[in-house]
Amino acid sequence: MLAANRPQLVRFFAGRTGSLTEAEDVVQEIWLHIGRSTDDPVAGPIANPLAYLHRIGLNIVLDRVRANSRRIRRDAGYVDATISVAGFEAIDDAPSAFDAVAGRERIAQLATALAGPPEGAMRVFRRHKIDGLSHAEVAAEFGISRSAVEKHIAVALRHLRKALHD
Amino acid sequence: MMDATQQDPIDAAAAWHARIDASDMDWAGFGDWLAADPSHRAAYNAIALLDAEIGAAAPGIAALLPANDDDATDAAPVSRPSRWRWAAAGTGSALAAGLAFLLVGPTVTETAQTYATGTGDTRAVTLADGSAMQLDRGSRVSVTGGQTPAIELADGAASFSVRHDPSRTLIVRAGAYDIRDVGTRFAVTSTRGKVSIAVAEGSVNVAPHDPDGSAPTTLVAGQRLDIDPSAGIAERRSIAPASVADWSDGRLSYDGAPLSLVVADISRYASAPLVVDPSAASLRFSGVLTIGDGSRLLDQLRAVLPLRLRRADGVVHLERSSRR
């Protein structure tokens, strides 16, 4: 399945990463991921394999982006020496995840932004992201189309980014 | 789908990101947009990282948001337990973790939150009280309560970084034991009744969940306690604090550890159940294993220990070989 889609995936991830070499690496990692899953009950039936492969790859790239920015922060000395206990620093996933106080403040900041405007879009976004409903479930609950749910979520993300970035 | 050239890259990135679960997602169009300009990649990084961060922090955020603030919730005809979906572009390898979770089954109730990872994924979670939890692969944890979380490690390994707050104690249940903590960094492993606790900073108390008259054991930084109730063993040993939760660095390091303990760790990454035969039970291992994709761990062990593998009924038995 991967072989047939390989050119398409390499092309997509070359765009995503900006590097053909890295795209090849990502596609290789996707392959490892799938290969591991074949004898694994977790794999299960997948409705849309191509979308699944793209999403796996997007997560792999995001992990790499996160690891890079962590290294850059560390190299720049932004990470306080007191939290550089080996074995913990490297598992820091979210920013400041292991700086508990900063983590708490960040959560409060996120919650404030999520409770803020625009009201309709944030409601849809919270129902999906915080309460865990699928797009289809949110659409049914609010009586709107799935495409409208996507638009609300995009608007919410845009506002969250702006609210939290400034 | 959209007029990408006219838009602020952040707006376009948000629009694309909101569609990645859609069945008719235009992946080629998304790829072309990303490739069109480096600013598009940067904008998408920002949006995807933010979305993943919110997903990872969802339980903590939910605790801070007013309850039932959505009219739609009240109006919903059927009240249903809320459950978390991590499949939608969450943190790290959340996609596979989400699949694992969905297949593990709906163990979540209104008050308990279950996190599960597959054999290929780890996961970082920020708890409602600001403490951080890192789940290793092949692990399952349920969390109840908000500001004073009670955590049950059903299977696998997790490390914790707990905010110091004298007014409350975080309790992690693993197997038949409770680990109490008031601000420290430690890791817990639980596999079929066997429990290991390793402390990097501060101290924890360990006691049986059902009191049996024994005094709680205090572990301080640089100590590890391995308990195997079925064998009546509780071993305390000194460790390098830096080696705590070293699985998060892709390594497993041991110093004279019983084979059963090593195999309990390896099980988290293995596709088939592993069983240590009595013939090999007395073996001990010192050294560092590289986790990688998990498939080479047994080979690394066999390179050092006199072990033979026997497969039967989908189970891998580790037996002592006569070689050496």
- Where a domain ends, among B244, B268, B293? B244
Q: Is A20 on the interface with B (CB under 8 A)?
A: no
Residue-range definition of the domain harbouring residue B109: 93-244
B157/B281 Cα distance (integer angstroms): 22
Question: Nearest-CA residue of chain A relative to B295?
Answer: A36
Which CATH number fits the domain that encloses residue B288? 3.55.50.30
The predicted structure's pLDDT at residue B310: 85
A 10 A CB-CB count for B218 gives 14
Question: Nearest-CA residue of chain A relative to B10?
Answer: A158
Average pLDDT, chain B: 76
Top-confidence residue, A40 or A123: A123
Cβ neighbors of B198 (< 8 A, separation 6 or more) are B186, B187, B223, B224, B225, B239, B243, B244, B245
The predicted structure's pLDDT at residue B69: 44
A-chain residues near B244 (CB < 8 A): 87-88
Top-confidence residue, B71 or B198: B198
Q: Which of B76-80, B85-89, B253-257 has the highest mean pLDDT?
A: B253-257
Question: A119 is written with which tokens?
Answer: 């009201």
| Cβ separation A132–B248 shorter than 8 A | no
pLDDT band at B266 (very low <50, low <70, confident <90, very high): confident
Please write down the HEC assignment for all residues of B74-132.
HHCCCCCCCCCCCCCCCCCCHHHHHHHHHHHCCCCCCCEEEEECCCCCCEEEECCCCCE
Which CATH number fits the domain that encloses residue B144? 2.60.120.1440
Rounded to the nearest angstrom, the minimum Cα separation between A28 and chain B is 13
The predicted structure's pLDDT at residue B142: 87
Question: B241 is written with which tokens?
Answer: 């604090």
Top-confidence residue, B81 or B308: B308
Checking if the pLDDT of B91 tops 80, the result is no
Greatest CA span in chain B, whole angstroms? 72
Q: What is the mean pLDDT of the segment spanning B55-72? A: 69
Checking if the pLDDT of B12 tops 80, the result is yes
Same domain, B29 and B129: no
Q: How far apart are the first and last CA of chain A?
A: 44
Same domain, B102 and B235: yes
Element containing residue B265 per DSSP (H, E)? helix B259-267
Question: Nearest-CA residue of chain B relative to A18?
Answer: B35
Q: Is residue B278 part of a domain?
A: yes
CATH dotted code for A99-166: 1.10.10.10
Top-confidence residue, B52 or A52: B52
pLDDT band at B264 (very low <50, low <70, confident <90, very high): confident
B-chain residues near A85 (CB < 8 A): 185, 200-201, 241-242
The predicted structure's pLDDT at residue B314: 76
| Cβ separation B95–A52 shorter than 8 A | yes
Rg (CA), chain A: 19
Q: What is the mean pLDDT of the segment spanning B132-153? A: 82
| Interface test mutation site (partner B, options A20, A60, A93, max chain B beta carbons within 10 A) | A93
Checking if the pLDDT of B43 tops 90, the result is yes
Is residue B267 within 8 Å of B306, Cβ to Cβ?
no
Q: What percent of chain B has pLDDT over 70?
A: 80
What are the residue ranges of CATH 1.10.10.10 in chain A?
99-166
CA B252 to chain centre: 15
pLDDT band at B77 (very low <50, low <70, confident <90, very high): very low
Checking if the pLDDT of B201 tops 70, the result is yes
B96/A19 Cα distance (integer angstroms): 25
Top-confidence residue, B293 or A127: A127
Query: Residue A130: which of B28, B62, B271 has the nearest Cβ?
Result: B62
Q: Is residue B204 part of a domain?
A: yes
| Cβ separation B271–A39 shorter than 8 A | yes
Element containing residue A152 per DSSP (H, E)? helix A146-165
Same domain, B293 and B270: yes
Least confident piece of the model among A118-132, B80-94, B167-181: B80-94
Query: Residue B50: which of A33, A141, A161 has the nearest Cβ?
Result: A161
Same domain, B100 and B33: no
Strands B194-201 and B251-258, bridge-based pairing: unpaired
Top-confidence residue, A88 or B11: B11
Rounded to the nearest angstrom, the minimum Cα separation between A1 and chain B is 17
Checking if the pLDDT of B141 tops 80, the result is yes
Rounded to the nearest angstrom, the minimum Cα separation between A45 and chain B is 10
Q: Which residue's entry shows tokens 């817990």?
A: B188
Q: Is residue B85 part of a domain?
A: no
Domains: count for chain B: 3
pLDDT band at B132 (very low <50, low <70, confident <90, very high): confident
pLDDT band at B113 (very low <50, low <70, confident <90, very high): confident
The predicted structure's pLDDT at residue A161: 94
Q: Is residue B141 part of a domain?
A: yes
Rg (CA), chain B: 23
> 3-state DSSP call for residue B273?
coil
Q: What region does B285 belong to: left with phi over 0, alpha with psi -120 to 50, or beta?
A: beta
Checking if the pLDDT of B96 tops 60, the result is no
Q: Which long-range contacts (CB under 8 A, 24 or more apart) does A124-128 make?
A: A124/A149, A124/A152, A124/A153, A124/A156, A125/A152, A125/A153, A125/A156, A125/A157, A125/A160, A126/B65, A126/B70, A127/B70, A127/B72, A127/B73, A128/A153, A128/B88
Each residue's pLDDT tens digit, B202-220: 888 888 887 766 667 888 8
> What interface predicted TM-score (ipTM) does this complex get?
0.84
Average pLDDT, chain A: 76
Top-confidence residue, B280 or A41: B280
Q: Is residue B214 part of a domain?
A: yes
Q: What is the mean pLDDT of the segment spanning B113-130? A: 80
Q: Is residue B200 part of a domain?
A: yes
Checking if the pLDDT of A19 tops 90, the result is yes
Same domain, B140 and B237: yes
Checking if the pLDDT of B169 tops 60, the result is yes
What pairs with residue B158 in β-bridges?
B135, B188
Each residue's pLDDT tens digit, A108-124: 899 999 999 899 999 99
Top-confidence residue, A71 or A127: A127
Is residue B157 within 8 Å of B139, Cβ to Cβ?
yes
Checking if the pLDDT of B109 tops 70, the result is no
Top-confidence residue, B198 or B251: B198
Angle at B299 between CA B298 and CA B304, to 5 degrees: 100
Q: Is residue B73 part of a domain?
A: no
Same domain, B144 and B36: no
Same domain, B100 and B167: yes
Q: What percent of chain B has pLDDT over 90?
A: 13
The predicted structure's pLDDT at residue A100: 52
Q: What is the mean pLDDT of the segment spanning B103-127? A: 65
Same domain, B161 and B282: no
Q: What is the mean pLDDT of the segment spanning B225-248? A: 78
pLDDT band at B161 (very low <50, low <70, confident <90, very high): confident
Q: What is the mean pLDDT of the segment spanning B253-266? A: 83
Same domain, B172 and B136: yes
The predicted structure's pLDDT at residue A76: 57
The predicted structure's pLDDT at residue A102: 63
The predicted structure's pLDDT at residue B208: 81
| Cβ separation B88–A128 shorter than 8 A | yes
Is residue B274 within 8 Å of B119, Cβ to Cβ?
no
Query: Residue B35: which of A14, A51, A150 has the nearest Cβ?
Result: A14
